[in-house]
Amino acid sequence: MDYLRELYQEVIIDHGKNPRNTGILEHPTAIQKGYNPLCGDKVTLFVALEHERIKDLKFVGQGCAISMASLSLMTETLIGKTILEAEKIFQEFHESITDKTHVPDETLLAKTFILLGVKEYPARVKCATLGWHTLIAALKHDESEHSEISTE
């Protein structure tokens, strides 16, 4: 168990330091900003949809290692998925990280399963969910300039 915990931490530190899929998409179909006032994490997420599928995702962000690692792992997991699949994974992730009694679906969550260790630290849950809320807002074509991630 300690070995796993260490391994998970290593992956999160790696993705936090060197997040994947960073940068600006040249032809996004949606751009969404997200902000977590509790920690100061900021992200601008670029989404390229094609035929109800996430063709590409990129982000520019500033924040703590957990928020950046979460964005990195989320983009790696969701590129190529349909909107419906992405929403299903978001729901599973959100339930798993906020409800300790929920048994997570590891197959569905794929790489993002690693992030669930954060549920032991409730103050950091919003760091881990910032990117996801931002993505869901983008998929819903929420045009609000700053979709502040508030309490739910």
Span interacting with Zn ion, options 22-30, 39-47, 88-96, 107-115, rule CB under 5 A: 39-47
* Nearest to 125, CA basis, from 16, 41, 20, 4: 41
For residue 39, state whether it binds Zn ion (rule: CB under 5 A): yes
**11, 64, 108, 116: residue in contact with Zn ion (rule CB under 5 A):** 64
Which structure tokens are listed for 36? 């977590």
For residue 45, state whether it binds Zn ion (rule: CB under 5 A): no
CB of 101 to Zn ion, least distance (A): 25
User: Which residue's CB is nearer to Zn ion, number 64 or number 79?
Assistant: 64
For residue 41, state whether it binds Zn ion (rule: CB under 5 A): yes
**Residues near 48 by beta carbon (within 8 Å), at least 6 away in sequence:** 25, 27, 28, 29, 54, 55, 56, 57
Span interacting with Zn ion, options 2-10, 24-32, 57-65, 92-100, rule CB under 5 A: 57-65
User: Which residue's CB is nearer to Zn ion, number 40 or number 80?
Assistant: 40
- The count of other CB atoms within 10 Å of the CB of residue 59 is 26
For residue 65, state whether it binds Zn ion (rule: CB under 5 A): no
Query: What's the Rg (C-alpha) of the chain?
Result: 14
Q: How far apart are the first and last CA of the chain?
A: 31
Dist. CA 47–CA 39, nearest whole Å: 24
CB of 146 to Zn ion, least distance (A): 16
Instruction: Note the residues at the interface with Zn ion (CB under 5 A).
Output: 39, 41, 64, 67, 127
